[in-house]
Structure 1
Amino acid sequence: MKTLKYIFAILIISASFLSCSTDNDDEPTPMNPVAGLIKIYEFSEADHTVEIYSEKQVLEVGYNELSIRILDKASNNYISNAEPTWMPMMHMESMSHSGPHSMLRNTENETVYKGHIVFQMAENDTEYWEVALNYNFNGEPMSMAQRVSVVQPVDGFRKTQVFTGADEVRYIMAFVNPKDPQVAINDFQAVLYKMENMMTFPVVENYKVTVDPRMPSMGNHTSPNNEDMVYNAATKMYNGKLSFTMTGYWKINLKLLNASGEVLKGEDITDDNPASSLYFELEF
């Protein structure tokens, strides 16, 4: 009987151990909220660090989606109540100006703040971009202004248009999606801002952008089932559909129409006019 008691005791202890091991194994590993992003900048202060993440290796002329985190050095935790705001500034030889940008908002993870900036021009030897950031850290207001590097797109294609419309308003239009175009019907997305003054660039609402993609090297043929871009109030972007029938170089010819249907920029494609003055470029 004593032997049986010892055997049962050993079995119970073993079962308890296995149960504990299984429970621990089933605990989910914390997700990295910036997985897949590249930390392109890290600015260190005495008691905290500001980190800036991007899908790209470098900031480029055009649309740049950025994520910001603030690390408390004492606790080694990222803070969730920073309420950050930002302002991009281009410092030129004779003047300074800002650029189109969204608000910074919390993502699914409350320690990550996401937004976008549209840089209208690249830096050079004497002119440069700076991002001013205001935020709270442990209840105290903080601010910093850091120089950032902005270059022309690596692929060399035009994905940003800065122009004056027929209404004499200065506009900035920037390509957002598709980031990975396919031979298919792709979701097409862009942002549209106007310049009120050197510091103020509000979103343009309820306009329309017509879409006519062409392949110049293939007789300038177009593609079926494209959809013009219209304003989406939820995202504050313009959404449409972009059809690609084959890989290669595409020029996406565009026209910008105001709420009254008046053409502000761009032209129809005809035998005598093979390209619009308003366009984006892609190659895949």
Structure 2
Amino acid sequence: MKMYQLFIMSLLLIVVSCTLDKTDYESEINTVVPEHYEFKQATAVNKDGYTISIETLNGIFYQGYNEIRLKVLDTQTNENINVSDVTFLPIMTKADGNKTSCPYQYTLDYKPDGKYYSGYSVFTDISNTAANWKLYLSFTVNKKMYKVNKDVTVNEQTNKNLNMTSFTGNDGEQYYIALIAPQKPKVAENKLVAGIYKFNKPVASTGNFPDPSQFSYSEVKGYTLQLDPRMPEPSMGNHSSPNNQDLIQGNNGLYHGVVNYTMTGNWTLNFIMLDQNGKIIKGTKVSTDFTPGVPGAKSELFIDTLF
């Protein structure tokens, strides 16, 4: 009997050891979750006496969702210039020369309170030897259009609560989900905000580069993102939490829901995405079985978080 107990204990140790080799949960839990709430200049470019300044949170372009604030200033006086028709187009050039983009807002909105133009970009890849990002910008002053471009560096997002995913839906369309809030969740019911976007398949090109019609994305309208958060660690047994709310689209175009984190640690946000007619675009139900000693099963569509 004693030998049998020793055998079982050894087997459990092997299982846990193998699991930790795959995912170092303890190391991840000790990670400090960064927060950034101050907008700083991420890049600037001069053109014919004008300075185009772009601000982001922390002054860095990150993989995932980035709120963009653009100002056009007089280079000598550093005062804001009255401009119109401000456009923003990010393009990534791959090592093989192919060009692609990411979800973004092409025509920026003017915010009179802050005297800047507002938009967003959901960078899908970090900058490296195989991917180079460049911003193509335009604005009009006194009926004259100015065009500029600027190479920028996109950094890895170290805050897992702002992770993103991309996938091909059951309808054959290319989709993107980017987490926007909360940056640093609490052990409580947290307001969960995400952007959902779709690539618009291009039609005939104008022949001019850059042609926005070849790099077009749109906000997904009227979908539902069903939510089932769980803790994937072997010691957590794949448990969930109560009082979560599915994400639905708000007036600002973003999707809003509630995620209830009952403790700190690694969480997986399991999703099922439904279109306006309730048809499943992507995602599968997650088993409710208690699974101690092994990582929890995940939906076909998920995003991992950590706090």
Please list, as runs of the form range in 1=range in 2, the aligned pairs for 1:247-266 lying within 5 A after superposition: 247-266=264-283
Displacement of 1:148 in angstroms is: 0.9
Displacement of 1:110 in angstroms is: 5.5
| Aligned equivalents of 1:158, 1:251: Cα separation in 2 | 13
| Aligned equivalents of 1:278, 1:108: Cα separation in 2 | 39
> CA contact under 8 A between 2:227 and 2:270: conserved in structure 1?
yes
| Aligned equivalents of 1:224, 1:57: Cα separation in 2 | 37
> CA contact under 8 A between 2:65 and 2:179: conserved in structure 1?
yes
> CA contact under 8 A between 1:158 and 1:281: conserved in structure 2?
no
Displacement of 1:109 in angstroms is: 2.3
> CA contact under 8 A between 2:56 and 2:68: conserved in structure 1?
yes
Count of aligned residue pairs for this structure pair: 249
Note if 1:213 corresponds to 2:217. Answer: no
Displacement of 1:65 in angstroms is: 0.8
Tell me the alpha carbon deviations over residues 194-242 of structure 1, each in whole angstroms, 9 at most, x when there is no partner. 112251212211111001111122222111111101122x211111111
SS in 1 for 2:218: coil
Residue among 163, 166, 182 paired with 1:162:
166
Q: Which residue is 1:115 aligned to?
A: 119
Tell me the alpha carbon deviations over residues 22-74 of structure 1, each in whole angstroms, 9 at most, x when there is no partner. xxxxxxxxxxxxx9212111212341211111113421221111111111124
SS in 2 for 1:192: strand
Note if 1:143 corresponds to 2:166. Answer: no
| Aligned equivalents of 1:59, 1:44: Cα separation in 2 | 19
SS in 1 for 2:200: coil
TM-score (norm 1): 0.81
| Aligned equivalents of 1:70, 1:281: Cα separation in 2 | 38
| Aligned equivalents of 1:138, 1:77: Cα separation in 2 | 17
Q: Which residue is 1:199 aligned to?
A: 215
SS in 1 for 2:192: strand
Q: Which residue is 1:278 aligned to?
A: 301
Note if 1:177 corresponds to 2:192. Answer: no
Displacement of 1:151 in angstroms is: 2.6
Identity %: 29
| Aligned equivalents of 2:76, 2:90: Cα separation in 1 | 29
Q: Which residue is 1:238 aligned to?
A: 255
| Aligned equivalents of 1:204, 1:67: Cα separation in 2 | 23
Q: Residues 249 and 108 (structure 1 numbering): CA distance in 2 closer, same or farther, change over 3 Å?
A: farther
| Aligned equivalents of 2:82, 2:266: Cα separation in 1 | 44
Q: Which residue is 2:243 aligned to?
A: 225
| Aligned equivalents of 1:56, 1:76: Cα separation in 2 | 21
What code does the residue aligned with 1:98 have?
S
- Looking at both structures, which has the greater relative contact order when contacts are Cα pairs under 8 Å and sequence separation is at least 6? 2
| Aligned equivalents of 1:56, 1:221: Cα separation in 2 | 35
Please list, as runs of the form range in 1=range in 2, the aligned pairs for 1:35-50 lying within 5 A after superposition: 36-50=38-52
Q: Which residue is 2:83 aligned to?
A: 81
| Aligned equivalents of 2:303, 2:49: Cα separation in 1 | 44
